Amino acid sequence: MKRTLYFLLLLCIAFASCKKGSKTNDQEPTPEEKAEALRLVKDSIYLYAQELYLWYDALPSAAVFNPTQYTGSSFINAFQAEIDAFSQLKINPSTNQPYEYDASYPGTAKYSYIDEGQAATSIGGTGGDFGFALTYITSSDLRIRYVYPGSSAATQNIARGYKVTAINDASVALTTGGNNDPAYIRISNALGENSIKLTLLRPDGTTFTTTVSKTTYTINPVIKYSTITSSTGKKVGYFAFSRFTTLSNAQAKIDEAFAKFATDNITELVVDLRYNGGGAVETSQYLANYMVPASKNGTTMFTEYFNDKLQRDVYPLLARKYRIDKGDFSTATNTYKFSKKGSLNLNRVFFLVTGNTASASELLINNLQPTLPQGVQLIGKTTYGKPVGFFGIPVGNASQYDLYISEFESRNGAGKADFYQGMVPASANYPGAVVDDDVTKDFGDPNEAMLVRALNFIDKGTYTVTGLASTFSEKTQENQMLRQANQLIDLKQQFSGAVHSGNLKRLNK
């Protein structure tokens, strides 16, 4: 899902510290030097893939594959073209498509990518953006999808659900929804600047105009938490989590939320992961330990399965980059157990999900599914589908690039990792309800389309809500123009991944 990281490339234009390596003098490399540097990285990418890639057995020799044949408008694009090519070689027998098949972008890698350090910065808990995201719900209705606490947008009192009526004093109404749509071009250009002027309409009908700037801030991944009393008096915890940043960044905020849930004696929990593209596996583990029943303490949460080379301690190239002990990639070393936290004793957990719910988010759901007496309930749309993960491999001169290729598959305590095509709400494996994202309501609003159904099920045992359609604005959901426009905007706004929990230490090479 490398495309969801491209928006971070824009941030490094404004914040040069994101880039991990650069020339320290004014001498411009010669064309020959540039070509040689490009060739060396291409060769390195393929050599690492032959050693580390989960599906390396489908890769031909370097002479046959010929990494140097792949080109692009930039070094990064050329490297990605190479990754895209080898990512399509291993076929999933259950689908007859590549394991890394991306239905939205056939022929490109669904999981594997390369960047210049932006992913590591983001997962570490440092934001460097405006702090908000956008979504169209009609061709003339552009909404704030979320706001990160502590960001510039948050300090301007912008909230999810606000309607954007103009950006930089220009119309946001779509005409075609494609790459050449004038509104999309204006928005895309504006998102690439260091500041953006927004004209907004609040739910109460009042309007205001404000300028939001790109700033560095510490990401608080807990967007919102609250205790809701249902119509029958049940205490329901609501927990909206935006990103699995490293545990050192996320732990205090998670603890704060679950301490309140314990104090309020909640008996039901709704976890909102609708935009959570994943991140640090250690943080997914930490959350799971709050939700698992005490009776499952000490049982297997999940196991990471690396390829057979790594399990046999055959990693000559990787050993140049990391300090690795024998057995670090064995299933025994990479089997993780539940360690119950807190006093919650839940029978089930409701998860609010969309196609942006990926990787470490899906890991959390998958790990809890076999442990809860009544399992998990999914409300929303089919998730992204990413039961694999990775750790970054530094490549290039001064290690200025981080290579992320699928390196392990995560299976839960029941040995399951069968969601390459996503987790489907209201299916045999994932009971729940199919519901569209209701961007007109803020997080935690009991009337929001997904949350109201969870509350209704808690009280009445049914997801059917009287007077509410089975899905929110289904006509808009099926509108190709809007979906295309939102996909294009998403390329600039999201992150996805599951980063290995192990204790590998990078060497200074």
Mean pLDDT (whole number) for 5-34: 46
Q: Band of the pLDDT at 491, cuts 50, 70, 90?
A: low
Judged against a pLDDT cut of 90, whether residue 504 lies above it is answered with no
Q: Band of the pLDDT at 21, cuts 50, 70, 90?
A: very low
Residue 353 · residue 419 · CB < 8 Å:
no
Residues 6+ apart with CB under 8 A from 214: 11, 14, 15, 128, 129, 130, 152, 194, 195
- Closest CA relative to residue 4, chosen from 227, 275, 229, 224: 275
pLDDT tens, residue by residue, 167-221:
999 999 998 887 889 998 999 899 989 999 999 999 999 999 999 999 999 989 9
Mean pLDDT (whole number) for 346-368: 96
Least confident of 55-69, 116-130, 150-164, 483-497: 483-497
Least confident of 35-39, 224-228, 333-337: 35-39
- Closest CA relative to residue 141, chosen from 388, 373, 450, 486: 486
Q: What integer pLDDT is reported at residue 11 of this predicted model?
A: 27
Least confident of 2-11, 251-260, 446-455, 478-487: 2-11
pLDDT tens, residue by residue, 270-283:
999 999 999 899 99
Q: What integer pLDDT is reported at residue 498 of this predicted model?
A: 58
Q: Report the distance separating Cα 88 and Cα 94, nearest Å.
A: 15
Q: Are strands 376-380 and 335-337 parallel, antiparallel or unpaired?
A: unpaired
In this structure, the number of other CB atoms found within 10 A of the CB of residue 74 comes to: 9
Mean pLDDT (whole number) for 237-262: 96
Tokens of 214: 């790109």
Residue 405 · residue 53 · CB < 8 Å:
yes
Residue 285 · residue 366 · CB < 8 Å:
no
Share of the chain above pLDDT 70, in %: 89
Least confident of 54-58, 103-107, 441-445, 496-500: 496-500
This prediction has a pTM of 0.88
When computed from its CA atoms, the radius of gyration of the chain, rounded to whole angstroms, is: 23
Q: Kindly state the DSSP code that residue 145 receives in the 8-state scheme.
A: E
Q: Band of the pLDDT at 29, cuts 50, 70, 90?
A: confident
pLDDT tens, residue by residue, 33-86:
888 989 999 999 999 999 999 999 999 999 999 999 999 999 999 999 999 999
Judged against a pLDDT cut of 60, whether residue 158 lies above it is answered with yes
Judged against a pLDDT cut of 60, whether residue 15 lies above it is answered with no
Q: What integer pLDDT is reported at residue 479 of this predicted model?
A: 65
Least confident of 50-54, 100-104, 174-178, 243-247: 174-178
Judged against a pLDDT cut of 80, whether residue 124 lies above it is answered with no
Judged against a pLDDT cut of 70, whether residue 237 lies above it is answered with yes
pLDDT tens, residue by residue, 433-457:
999 999 999 999 999 999 999 999 9
Which residues in 62-71 are b (16+ Cβ under 10 Å) and which e? eeebebeebe
Q: Count how many Cα atoms sit within 13 Å of the Cα of residue 495 in the half-sphere of its side chain.
A: 27
Judged against a pLDDT cut of 60, whether residue 7 lies above it is answered with no
Q: Report the distance separating Cα 85 and Cα 9, nearest Å.
A: 22
Q: Kindly state the DSSP code that residue 110 receives in the 8-state scheme.
A: S
More confident position, 466 or 309: 309
Tokens of 220: 């608080």
Q: Is 190 exposed, middle or buried (0-12, 13-18, 19+ CB in 10 A)?
A: middle
Judged against a pLDDT cut of 80, whether residue 505 lies above it is answered with no
Least confident of 185-194, 243-252, 370-379, 485-494: 485-494
Q: What integer pLDDT is reported at residue 282 of this predicted model?
A: 94
- In the chain, the N- to C-terminal Cα span, in Å, equals 28
Q: What integer pLDDT is reported at residue 484 of this predicted model?
A: 75
> What domains does the chain contain, in order, with CATH numbers?
2-20+31-123 (no CATH), 129-219+476-509 (2.30.42.10), 220-299+338-385+420-435+437-472 (3.90.226.10)
Q: What integer pLDDT is reported at residue 177 of this predicted model?
A: 80
When the pLDDT of each residue in the chain is averaged and rounded to a whole number, the result is 88
